[in-house]
Amino acid sequence: MVGVAEHDLAALLDRVFDRVQASDTEGWDQRRPTHEIAASFADLLARVRVGDVDRDAFRLMFAPTGELQELSMANGWADEFITLSSQVDALLGDYNQ
Domain around 16: 4-92
- Between helix 67-74 and helix 78-92 the angle, nearest 10°, is 150
Confidence of residue 76 (pLDDT cuts 50, 70, 90): very high
Other Cβ atoms within 10 Å of 2 Cβ, number:
14
Confirm whether 13 is domain-assigned.
yes
Q: Is the pLDDT assigned to residue 96 strictly greater than 60?
A: no
Confirm whether 75 is domain-assigned.
yes
State pTM to two decimals.
Answer: 0.82
Confirm whether 54 is domain-assigned.
yes
| pLDDT of 79 | 96
Confirm whether 45 is domain-assigned.
yes
47: Cα within 13 Å, side-chain hemisphere: 12
Confirm whether 22 is domain-assigned.
yes
| pLDDT of 85 | 93
For residues 50, 51, 57, 61, the Cα torsion angle rounded to the nearest 10 degrees is: 70
Domain count, the chain: 1
Confirm whether 97 is domain-assigned.
no
**Which amino acid does the sequence have at 14?**
D
Confirm whether 67 is domain-assigned.
yes
Summarize pLDDT for 2-39 with one digit per residue, the tens: 577 788 889 999 999 999 999 887 655 667 788 888 89
